[in-house]
Amino acid sequence: MSILYFYIFLLVHPYLAMWWKSFPTAGRASWEALVPGYNYFVVFKITCKKPFWALLLAFPGIHLVMWATANLSYVRRFGYYSFTDTLQGIFFPYYLMQQCTRSDSFFGEETNWSNSAERETRKWGDHIALFLALPVIGHIVAVSIDMVTRDKPGTKSRVKEWGDSILFALVAASIIRTYVFEPFQIPTGSMEKTLLVGDFLFVNKLAYGPKVPVTPLSYPLVHNTVPWVNMKSYTDFEKGSYTRLPSLGNVERYDVVVFNYPSGDTAVYDPRMPDGLMGHDYHGILNSEAFYQYQKANAAKLQKAKSTLTDSLFDLKYEEFCQAYIKNAQPWKKIARERLSNGNFPEYMGPNESLPEKHGGLIYRPVDKRENYIKRCVGIPGDRLEIKNAVLYVNGKPAEVAANQCLEYEIDKSLVEFPGATEMFEEYGLENAPNQTRMDFKDADIRNPNKYILTLTASEKKRIEKDFKVTLNLVVKAQYSDDSTYVPRGEDLIDNMNYFPKDFYINNTATNFHEFTVPAKGTTVALDENNIAWYRRIITAYEGHILEEKQDGIYIDGKKTNTYTFAMNYYWLMGDNRYNSADSRVWGFVPEDHVVGRASLVWFSKSAYMGVRWNRLFKWIE
């Protein structure tokens, strides 16, 4: 249901509740109940003595809490404060509101706290109010306080006092978290060494304008999953559309940005995982499972070829096998999609005794409840981007390199002998998990055990080359687009499905990307079979159209067209740890409605192995 209807309901409610009839009993004029907005101001003034609380009705996600607070406080002043009265006052107050209009009704204090009968009558009403303010935890707090403390005669009960305090602390915290700034913890190493695993940040939401929640009704102060119980923290009962409040500025190139994960619209729910997700990239899981099912169906043929052909002939056979899949992948994707939809775990993950029989199914998450990611914005609307041999080019020029951006280098062990991981850490700060927290220095690599692999910033690389008198070689995956005579292998094409736009015939890799333009709101692009792959998700998932690719052309919402005009701005974001980051190279453009805020300050940092990183406390993010 649209959030607009709820605001209309808030305006209509005072008339449905017949406040103009009960206001005189409360010592107010009838006309005051008929003035929209002012009527709530009066109710909060005569019940809670806090008229400014009426302003909180303007905040989505808070408005219904304050509506229930106004109603409950109002009916309690007319003597309705039992357990059942409390439930009615919170969820459907109209019967009690009608009772308040009776000629024999009275308006007074909520409760005579010196009267033990009245205290006992409202006892469980206060418990239920606290429970609803902070589900489960609030009730535990309420019961615990009630068991270990004794209320003083003539004063409010402890449960009432704690209930009020917790409720409005949560209201204040929710407003700050939603509209001003939000704490965020770095969970992975994709921004190493700019941001470290264990860094705690403040995300400034005023920088780009706070987003009005799309799903405002949710468990307080959590994102999309209630901790410990792995259940959805929000309800779709009330829905809003994308709205961004006025901002202090726009997303600038090279800002460090927190955003909702674009590919998180569909996710596989895995009850074993702390956040309930089997990875975050459903589309990558789908592609991997589809190829696995194809291989499984042809396993006997492959095994026979492997046993009867020479290695070189088998390579040719396997190339034919991959090319056949590329030409007819859709049926296998359909099989994979059906398997995942039916709750089956992906078979490509291999047999695992810890796997339950079924996963929890596919779940759709609205924009504001998708996982929070953090990357550096390297492309703003209208920018032309290209990656050549791990070097990013923006509008034809090499992009700015962040001070702590790191790339991956290799060198043959025959050319140099580096000291062990401990010495490399002590001398150069290069960590080697699990002794520290990162994998900056590997003296053995599954890809090539005869090479050292180092993840270094530009300054670290320069120092090591100087100290050891060697040249470190950048690790680069082959670039195909520069060689018009090169025909990529089918196996490479399948591997490249891990990279945006996840199309067999666009050969992007982690270190080489074809030139493209970041879409800007209002601009129009020509569409054809050669570039439609770049825009499929924009047209369908982000801007909500029906896209059909037929033999005679491209159809959008049933109409044939060869152009498309973008409704939103888009951004391109990449991790500073370029070789160990799932970013726009994997899932593509980030729509403006996914942008949460700018990462501004590291206020605390703790390593799992080395404790508090004192040098990172209250450090501004650049």
Residue 435's pLDDT is: 47
Question: Which range has the worst mean pLDDT, 18-32, 330-344, 498-512?
Answer: 498-512
Q: Mapping DSSP to helix (H, G, I), strand (E, B) and coil, where does residue 546 land?
A: coil
Question: Which range has the worst mean pLDDT, 187-191, 561-565, 597-601?
Answer: 187-191
> Which residue in 593, 470, 578 sits closest to 521, CA to CA?
593
- Has residue 25 been placed in a domain? yes
Torsion angle, alpha carbons of 595, 600, 601, 605, to 10: 40
> Tokens at residue 532, please?
């439609």
Distance CA 10, CA 245 (A): 21
Q: Which helix (H) or strand (E) holds 607?
A: strand 595-607
Residue 205 has pLDDT above 80, yes or no: yes
Residue 122 has pLDDT above 70, yes or no: no
Question: Which range has the worst mean pLDDT, 88-97, 286-295, 330-339, 432-441?
Answer: 432-441
> Which residue in 473, 462, 349 sits closest to 410, CA to CA?
473
Q: Mapping DSSP to helix (H, G, I), strand (E, B) and coil, where does residue 453 land?
A: strand
Q: Mapping DSSP to helix (H, G, I), strand (E, B) and coil, where does residue 591 land?
A: strand
Highest-confidence segment of 111-125, 213-227, 583-597: 583-597
- Has residue 608 been placed in a domain? no
- Has residue 166 been placed in a domain? yes
DSSP 8-state class, residue 403: T
Q: Which helix (H) or strand (E) holds 319?
A: helix 311-327
Host domain of residue 140: 3-179
- Reported for 221-224, long-range contacts at CB under 8 A and 24+ positions apart, including other chains, are 221/170, 221/173, 221/174, 221/177, 223/369, 223/371, 223/372, 224/365, 224/369, 224/370, 224/371
Residue 69's pLDDT is: 87
Residues 6+ apart with CB under 8 A from 163: 126, 129, 130, 133, 138, 142
Distance CA 284, CA 281 (A): 5
Q: What are phi and psi of 57, to 5 degrees?
A: -65, -15
3-class SS letters over 324-363: HHHHCCHHHHHHHHHHHHCCCCCHHHCCCCCCCCCCCCEE
pTM for the full model? 0.83
> Which residue in 246, 245, 238, 244 sits closest to 63, CA to CA?
238
Q: Which residue has the higher pLDDT, 456 or 62?
A: 456
Highest-confidence segment of 360-364, 461-465, 479-483: 461-465
- Has residue 12 been placed in a domain? yes
Instruction: Tell me the average pLDDT across 255-283.
Output: 80
- Has residue 44 been placed in a domain? yes
Q: Which helix (H) or strand (E) holds 240?
A: none
Cβ atoms of residues 536 and 547 within 8 Å:
yes
Q: What are phi and psi of 51, to 5 degrees?
A: -60, -25
Residue 118's pLDDT is: 61
> Which residue in 462, 468, 419 sits closest to 441, CA to CA?
419
Question: Which range has the worst mean pLDDT, 104-108, 200-204, 356-360?
Answer: 356-360
Q: How many domains does the chain have?
A: 1
- Has residue 619 been placed in a domain? no
Residue 481 has pLDDT above 50, yes or no: no
- Has residue 510 been placed in a domain? no
Distance CA 195, CA 121 (A): 54
Residue 524 has pLDDT above 80, yes or no: yes
Residue 29's pLDDT is: 94
- Has residue 600 been placed in a domain? no
Distance CA 504, CA 228 (A): 41
Residue 24 has pLDDT above 80, yes or no: yes
- Looking up tokens 């700019």, which residue turns up? 194
